[in-house]
Chain A
Amino acid sequence: MSGAWLRGWALDCALGADEDACFAAVAAGKPPVSKLRLDNFNEPFALHYYRIDDGADLFDPARLARRLPGVVAAAVDTAGLDARARRALPIFVGSSCFSIGESEARYAAALAHDPDAALAMPCVGFEGIAASVRAAIGSEAPSYTWNTACTSSANALLAAQRMLAAGRFENALVIGAELANLTSLAGFAALQLTADAVRPFAAARAGIVLGEGIGAVVLSATPRGAPPLCLVGGAANCDRYSVSGANPDGNSIAAVLRTALATTGTAAEAIRGIKAHGTGTAMNDAGEARGLAQVFEALPPVCVLKPWIGHTLGACGVNELALFAAALRRGVLPGAPDAGAPDEALAVGPLAADAPAAPGRYLLNQFGFGGTNTVLVLEWAA
C-alpha cells in the first residue's frame, strides 16, 4: 500500500495535554466546555468555549510558544526519528490563528500607550509556527503553511501524504494549531454561528462551539506503529455555493467523497466508519448529511469529535485525526456526549456511545469557508 503511515502523533486540547488525559476525560463523560465572556466590546458578549486549561490568561500571546514544543516533541519522539531524519523532516502547518493573537495583543497594548502611533496587524506572515518548530527539532527541510480556513490542516495532511507517496520525502511532520484569538471569537459571533452546545446532526442543533487545540502527526513512507494506521489518500474540491458554507443539497460534498473513494480504490461498502465534520450548524450538517446519503446506500457508523474538543477551525484536521487514531488504538469509535435526538430530515445519527472499531478504512471529513471540502481516507491495516 502506498501512502503515509502514522508513525507518531500528539494532541493538546481541552480534554487534556496527552492521549491518556484525553481519554480519561472522555471516560468521565463531561465535555470540557466553559463560558467565556468578552467585555472589551461596546456590545459585550459571552460564548461557550473549549479552552486548554493551562491556568494562563486566555489571550496571553506566549501560550502558543509554551504549548507547541511539547506537542511536537511528543509526536517526533513517539515516531522515533533520529537526528538525520529530523534534519530531513519537512514541516506542514495548517492553522487559522498563526500569529493573530500576538498581533492583537501588541496592537491593544500600543493603543493603550499611544493610539495615534498604534499599528494594526504588527505581526505579518504565516511562518511563525513552522519557524519555531524548525528551530526546535533541527529541521533543514522545507516548510509548507496552509491557510484554507477549517480545512487548513486537513489539506496539510493531504499534501504531505501526496509528497510522501511521490517519493519526495521519507517522513513529514504535520501540525494543526488553534489557540484563542479575538478575530475568530468575534468573527464567528458576528456571523451568529455560535451555540451553547455542539450537537451535530441533532434536531436541536444550534451552531458551533469553538475550541483550542494543538496537534502533531508524523507521517512516514515506511510502515511502523501499532495499530498500523495509514493515510492512504483523499480528495479536495471547491464548493461554489457560498463563501461561508457548503451547499446544503450535498452535491459538492458527495463529489469530494466519491473522488476520495475512487482515487484510493475504496468501495463505499468497505468504509468501516466516518469521522464527520459535524459542526452542528444548520447548513454544514445538512450538506454533509445529504452528501453522505448520495454516496452510501447504508451509512456506516458516524462519529463526531467536536462535542469533545470543540471546533478547532484550521487545526481540526490534524487534531481530530490524532484523537480518532488514538480511539482506534483503543479499539473504539467514540460516542458523542449530549448528542440530542437526531434530525430525522438528515438521517444521520452519530454514535451516542462508544462502539467497537474494526480494521479497515475510515473517512475523515473536513469542510471550510471559501468552499473548501477535504476528505481523508485512513486505513487501519489488519
Chain B
Amino acid sequence: MKAGLLAAGDYFAPLADDAPLPALDAALREVGAGSFRRIDRFVQLALLGAARCARGHNLRPGCGVYIGSSLGPLSSNIRVQETMLGTREWPMPFHFVNTLGSSAGFYIASSFNLSGPSLFVSRRGASLAAVLETALTDLATGVVEQALVGVVEEAPLPLAAQRRRLAVAADMPLAEGSHWLLLGGAGDRATHSVSFSREPDVRRLSVAGACCAGRGLGDAVPAGYMRLDGLPWHDSIEAAWFVARAAEARRNVALLNRDDGGGYLVRLGA
C-alpha cells in the first residue's frame, strides 16, 4: 500500500529528571492549534505535532485523524487513579474524559475543522505500523482522501516513577514526542510517497532484541541512527521520530519494525 507524502512535522523533547516538562502553550499558539481549556499533556502533544505537520496545507474537511500510541493518555489515567484511590474522591469529569484515546483526535479535528474519522489504534512498539496500515487502507479504499497520521507518547513526571512503570533501568533516558505525516490520495500532488507492507517472514531474520526489535534499513538516516531495542514505548516513539524526520527531509529510507505479529516495513521514497 502506498500514499503520497504531503507533509511531515513533529515535536520531540528529551526529558530531564530535575526539570519540569517543557511548556507547550507558546508553541501551540505559534502554530495556531486552537486554545482549548481542560486538555491534558497527551492532547497538547498531539495538537502540537499535528499542527506542525499540517500548517500551510489546506486540509480537506473529510481528512481522517489517525493516532497511534503504545501508552496513550497516561497522565490523565494516573491522575484519575490517584484521585479515586489515593484521596478517595470522584474524578473530575474532564480528567475522566481525557483518559480516553479519542479525546486527542477530537481536539485535532476541532482545530482543523475536520469531520472525517477520528481513530486511535495501539500495537506496543509497532503502533506506527498499525496506524499507518489503517490509514493507508482507508486511503486505498476511498474512505478518506487525506489522512493526518501520527504517533504520540508522553512521559509523565516524576521520571523515576515512570521508569518503574515501564520496568526500565533507573538511568534510562526518557522523552516525549508527537510525530506526524500528512498523506494524500490520487488527487494530491506529492513528490514523495509512503508505502507499507507486512513481512511475515521477518521473524526468521536475525534481528537483535526482544519482541519489538527492528532496525533502520535506509540509504540515509536523518540524524543519528535507529536503535529500536525491544522496549515498546521506546520503539513506538523512535520509529515515528525516524519516519517523520526522514519525511520532513524527504529522505529515501526504510524502517523495519517487528513484533509477535510479524514484521512491518515502512518505506519513504521519491
Q: A residues within 8 Å of B by Cβ?
A: 40-43, 45, 90, 96, 100, 103-104, 107-108, 111, 115, 118-122, 124-127, 130-131, 134, 139-149, 151, 155, 159, 162-163, 165-166, 168, 182-183, 186-191, 235-240, 243-244, 252, 255, 263, 368-372
Contacts and interface: CB of A to CB of B under 8 A. Distances in A.
Contacts of A145: 121-123, 130
A191 B122 contact: no
A120 B101 contact: no
Interface string B110-125: 1001111111111110
A252 B106 CA distance: 13
A139 to B, nearest CB: 8
B84 A186 contact: yes
Given A134-B260, A187-B91, A371-B106, A159 B97 contact: no
Contacts of B71: 124-125
A370 B123 contact: no
A111 B90 contact: no
Contact of A120 (B78, B105, B143): B78
Interface of B: 65, 70-72, 74, 77-82, 84-93, 96-97, 99-107, 109-110, 113-124, 126, 129-130, 133-134, 137-138, 140-141, 143, 161, 164-166, 198, 200, 203, 232-233, 259-262, 264
9 contacts: A41-B89, A42-B88, A120-B85, A125-B233, A140-B203, A141-B261, A142-B126, A149-B101, A368-B102
A147 B100 contact: yes
Contacts of B65: 238
Contact of B261 (A90, A162, A166): A90
Highest count of chain A CB atoms <10 Å: which of B114, B119, B138:
B119
Overall SS of chain A's interface = mixed
B141 A121 contact: no
B77 A127 contact: no
A257 to B, nearest CB: 14
Given A122-B165, A147-B120, A238 B109 contact: yes
Contacts, number: 222
A183 B99 contact: yes
A240 B81 contact: no
Contacts of A115: 86
A338 B109 CA distance: 39
Given A162-B137, A190-B93, 5 more contacts: A40-B88, A120-B78, A124-B71, A127-B123, A162-B141
A320 B72 CA distance: 26
Nearest to B112: A240
A183 B123 contact: no
B93 A162 contact: no
Highest count of chain A CB atoms <10 Å: which of B71, B96, B101, B262:
B101
Contacts of A238: 65, 105-106, 109, 114-118
Nearest to A127: B124
A343 B225 CA distance: 62
Contacts of A189: 90
A375 to B, nearest CB: 11
Contacts of B117: 155, 235-238, 372
Contacts of A190: 90-93, 96
A146 B117 CA distance: 13
Contacts of A90: 261
Given A148-B101, A168-B137, A237-B117, A43 B90 contact: yes
Contact of A183 (B81, B103, B114): B81
Contacts of A40: 85, 88
B198 A142 contact: yes
B25 to A, nearest CB: 20
A46 to B, nearest CB: 13
A142 B123 contact: yes
Given A96-B100, A191-B93, A243-B103, A236 B119 contact: yes
A41 B121 contact: no
Contacts of B124: 125, 127
A162 B74 CA distance: 30
A162 B134 CA distance: 9
A372 B99 CA distance: 15
B116 A121 contact: no
Contact of A155 (B115, B119, B166): B119
Contacts of A372: 102, 105-106, 117-119
List of 5 A-B pairs having minimum Cβ-Cβ separation, nearest first = A370-B102, A147-B101, A187-B96, A142-B261, A236-B117
Contact of A370 (B77, B78, B103): B103
Highest count of chain B CB atoms <10 Å: which of A42, A121, A145, A237:
A121
B79 to A, nearest CB: 8
Given A124-B71, A126-B72, A148-B102, A140 B262 contact: yes
B130 A142 contact: yes
A173 B122 CA distance: 16
Contact of B96 (A147, A165, A191): A191
Contact of A144 (B72, B90, B134, B161): B134
B85 A159 contact: no
A62 to B, nearest CB: 19
Nearest to A100: B77
Given A159-B134, A370-B118, A182 B102 contact: no
Nearest to B77: A121
B81 A104 contact: yes
Contacts of A142: 123, 126, 129-130, 133, 198, 259, 261-262, 264
A186 B91 CA distance: 7
